Structure 1
Amino acid sequence: MPERADITYFGAGPALLPTDVLETAAASLVNFNGTGLGLAEHSHRSQLASNIVNEAKKDLATYLDVPDDYDILFMQGGGSGEFSATVYNLVAVWVERRKQRILKDLGVEDNKQLPENVIKELQKAVDEELKIDYLVTGSWSLKASQEAARLIGPEHVNVAADAREVNGGKFGKIPEESTWKLSKNPAMVYYCDNETVDGVEFPRFPAVLAPKGVDEPIVVADMSSNILSRRVPIKNFSVIFFGAQKNLGSTGVTVVVIKKSLLPPTVANAEPSLVRKLGIPNGPIVLQYSTIAKNNSLYNTLSIFDVFIAGQVLKKSLNTFPNKVDGQQALSEKKANLIYAALDAHPESYKVVPDKSVRSRMNICFRVTHLESGIDDSEKTFLEGSVGVGLTGLKGHRSVGGIRASNYNSISLEGAEKLAKYIEEFAAKPRK
């Protein structure tokens, strides 16, 4: 049986965790800091739990240089839960802002009992103007747009860009920004910064979404699979969310970085009867950002153990890279370049799936064409051989097949070098 040190695991998630972090976490499960109780047994209402949450928030803000006018929330429900949460919360923000504009235009004071003419104007605005924009560049952004259509109706969802339209019906490119059909003043513009299934990553923040002053777009990004791997222009975003299980920690915690200006009560929690009258969705309270922020992420029973693991990963990263995320970015790019170079050196044996301009540093997706008997046999042989040399978790997503090497932060440079070497050696074998 192989030992942990013998394996380099390239699975897409839950991802590899640093061994020393796991050892610290394992000890804390039995007796945390001499309390006689394991960390999973301590109350989330305890000062101990609050300290763990606050320390993890502080370290994440330090590592990513999160500005003071943003809050950090620890939630549950994963990225899929945030597909819904962003709709619930930001549609409510849009309606609240639209209500305030109507009140100003009509010269009416804001109070609990809105006049019928205000409600009528607000209903008209919802029916005719409410839009959420989605940039669909892969499987996860597609699922996000579909969830929005389910919650508020397809008439309110605008797919501003669909990568399949410029890539023969498949994902693998990002359409030129000049072709995006963005709405006027949408409730939000959503995109997935890195698509794990399709190996597509935005090379940079889209220029067309840059802040423009008073009417700046509300930009939401799913960074579940590339957060902590490169510098993020936080100020350009209104909301960033990410599941912990790729680069931050273990499954069970979802992080939201949000502008504090979006947190005051909106019609969703201040006027639920108006929400019902307008026909917009009012989601579960555990997905309500203002409620979670008000309770410092401890409104309901948060998994403090998983927050602790995330905090330990952050401390390790801060100790490893004096220049914080910039150091990790340099390493991530070096590892990805090594693997892509090995693939590109053998076009007769491998085909990288996404276009070169949008290749993901985190999820390297490719097909193996080495054997004359066909791709399926070639990839089966490739995977069998990789396990034999301690490289595991390389099978592609079930929906697309192929090979996928997930090059998350926990993959060492030596692990990336080992994979690049195997890619070279497999290509050098005689074709059958």
Structure 2
Amino acid sequence: MGSSQSALNFGAGPAKLPREVLSEVQNELLSFKDSGMSLMEMSHRSKEYSKINNDAQNAIRQLLNVPDNYKILFMQGGGTGAFAAVAMNLMNRTGSADYAVTGTWSGKAAKEAAKYGKVNLVFPKADKPGSIPAESTWTLNSNASYLYYCDNETVDGVEFHYIPNSKDVPIVCDMSSSIMTKHVDVSKFGCIIGGAQKNIGPAGVTVVIIREDLLGNPMQICPSVFDFTHINKENSVHNTPATFSVYVMEKVLQWIKKNGGVAAMEKQSAEKSKLLYDAMIQSNNFFSCPIDEDVRSRINIPFRVGGPQGNEELEAKFLEEAEKLKMYQLKGHRSVGGIRASLYNAVTSEDVTSLVKFMEEFKKRYG
């Protein structure tokens, strides 16, 4: 591995991008397709950008087998903007929505939605962080406009390994950190949202996949930049979109296709997370994951160093020594502490093996 490639990036987002894609972007940065201009300088109404925009939508449609009655939108405002957009576009049907709060991001989404209608929490706040209450204990409202959940909580390391049963109520799912890491039956959802900056591109673009019968009824207060119906009508070019972000995302989507598609990403995801969880088991609790085993994320893996409660001094040393080995962005989220390794699609098995080897050596010295 050459010196320019030696950094191992375990960041939660913005996250590692495939080196191959970055090289391609670098080669085209000053002159896109021999035009003498950077894509960043080109009009969002140009034929060049129109092709990128359409190719990116088609790639998502192919990779996720998106049915014809779903529209694919590219928006700005990140996942946080989408929390408000979802409520302003979909809550009008009945004025209320069900929210399954399993961690930081679904909690923020529920709080945002409460500005626009009645939010029903389908279960009380989990007794302990790192768990999802059994579905049999959920209280669903048959009159809800939608049921909202976050497929994978980036901060908390909790992942749904099933799709909740919402009866006939449309399901809205935040897949920001799990999109393109596993097969998804899109037809089971009313709407899927996802910030690109974890698995499929740089920050600046949010993907929305929405069933077309849910379009057409936004709240009157909904700004046009957040209006799914309007953005769909304008083919995601209502105003100047994040053209460069969409351009890089399109390249990442082609990279996923070239490397075996979602099936290959899912297989690698399982292998990478197993490497890390196995290392924790073998450490006899020196490295310890606080998340219930049945809801552990394959993608964002929090752990403590020095025992289940963690030893802050050892954790600081762990981060310091990791950085000396050019292993970056392993510090846990400020609200949770500890360590967190994010294993997105661009993170290789070799990257994870290097981390595990370092963990084993660290335990020998301090365990």
Normalised by the length of structure 2, the TM-score is: 0.96
Counterpart of 1:236 in structure 2 is: 188
| CA deviation vs aligned residue, 1:83-142 (integer Å, no higher than 9, x gap) | 0000000023x15xxxxxxxxxxxxxxxxxxxxxxxxxxxxxxxxxx3211000000000
1:423 aligns with 2:362: no
Alignment partners' CA distance in 1, 2:102 and 2:142: 21
| CA deviation vs aligned residue, 1:142-171 (integer Å, no higher than 9, x gap) | 00111111333xxx1101124523x2xxx2
Percent identical among aligned pairs is: 43
Counterpart of 1:340 in structure 2 is: 277
Counterpart of 2:344 in structure 1 is: 408
Alignment partners' CA distance in 1, 2:157 and 2:208: 23
Shift of 1:390: 2.5
Select the structure of larger CA radius of gyration: 1
Shift of 1:363: 0.4
| Counterpart amino acid of residue 25 in structure 1 | V
Counterpart of 1:146 in structure 2 is: 111
Counterpart of 2:224 in structure 1 is: 285
1:64 aligns with 2:64: yes
| Corresponding residue SS for 1:378 | helix
Counterpart of 1:301 in structure 2 is: 240
What is the aligned counterpart of 2:292 among 355, 371, 381?
355
Does the C-alpha gap of structure 1 residues 430 and 43 become closer, same or farther in structure 2, counting only changes over 3 Å? closer
Query: Greater helix share, 1 or 2?
Result: 1
Alignment partners' CA distance in 1, 2:218 and 2:207: 24
1:199 aligns with 2:138: no
Alignment partners' CA distance in 2, 1:56 and 1:310: 7
Shift of 1:15: 0.1
Counterpart of 1:254 in structure 2 is: 206
Equivalent residues of 2:290, 2:308 under 8 A apart? no
Shift of 1:370: 5.9
Counterpart of 1:114 in structure 2 is: none
What is the aligned counterpart of 1:158 among 117, 120, 130?
120
Counterpart of 1:172 in structure 2 is: 130
| CA deviation vs aligned residue, 1:174-222 (integer Å, no higher than 9, x gap) | 000010011122011100000011100001212x23xx5xxx2110000
Alignment partners' CA distance in 1, 2:298 and 2:138: 24
Alignment partners' CA distance in 1, 2:152 and 2:158: 6
Counterpart of 2:100 in structure 1 is: 135
Shift of 1:371: 12
| Counterpart amino acid of residue 424 in structure 1 | E
Alignment partners' CA distance in 2, 1:14 and 1:267: 30
Segments of 5+ residues of structure 2 without an aligned counterpart are none
Does the C-alpha gap of structure 1 residues 430 and 306 become closer, same or farther in structure 2, counting only changes over 3 Å? closer
Equivalent residues of 2:21, 2:252 under 8 A apart? yes
| Counterpart amino acid of residue 301 in structure 1 | T
Equivalent residues of 2:286, 2:363 under 8 A apart? yes
User: Size of the alignment, in residue pairs?
Assistant: 366
1:227 aligns with 2:179: yes
Shift of 1:348: 3.4
| Counterpart amino acid of residue 369 in structure 1 | G
1:7 aligns with 2:1: no
Equivalent residues of 2:285, 2:308 under 8 A apart? no
